Chains A and B, each alone.
Chain A
């Protein structure tokens, strides 16, 4: 009982802080200086129609490199923690078949879902979406495969090859930007092209596709590691 009272007291204090924040908030009438710079210069410097993509891939590219590294570490630690719990294979309990509808449906839906994921991350600089969303859609195709065939084992070597290849290429493109253009991860190593076309915005489609592959491989590895853990 005393614990619940302490929790409620803590929440009241936090709620009071939130209330003062909320009543003191007034929306800006104009963009602040950083946002104004991005709004004015993205089209002519970067050539990307989606300003959020321009910030993530180019202006703040180093942060995104750190982000995919953190995600890689999370996936690696999940694999490490669950490594000894993985089913030995032969000891797997035989599960009930998943049904004709799911098996057939997954065969016809899988290529379409993969295509949608690739479309989302290739068009990241023009439309909403990009590497993270596309990677998650690709991973959900892998999830459908897992649901249709629960005893299936993914090829972990293939996943780690895709993951390390795209991570390595990402860093190589960043260093190329340092040598050929203005700085690390500068997208102007390729021509900026015509605004609004698929092959425009320099290296952004290339970098975002690599991020999409890397994120998709990492999510697939987390999903397959958790689904291969032995039932306790």
Chain B
């Protein structure tokens, strides 16, 4: 029996810049479609002529950061900063 540590991301708060053509609903659905993301909350922080600065709060168990980046790129959304992150450590017993 071996004890394996896994560190999972439980919460991510992201500041991002998206074109106005991409709707909030589409973006939120696309992010929520990522495995292990359970809740997505997006709010518009600033509106420009072509873009919107959005604040996203993602919660789940074991959120894959790379998958989140991939979905943001797919939706022409640039990551500005990660403002908050919550992780937890879990011990798993494996044979």
Whether chain B is bound by chain A comes out as no
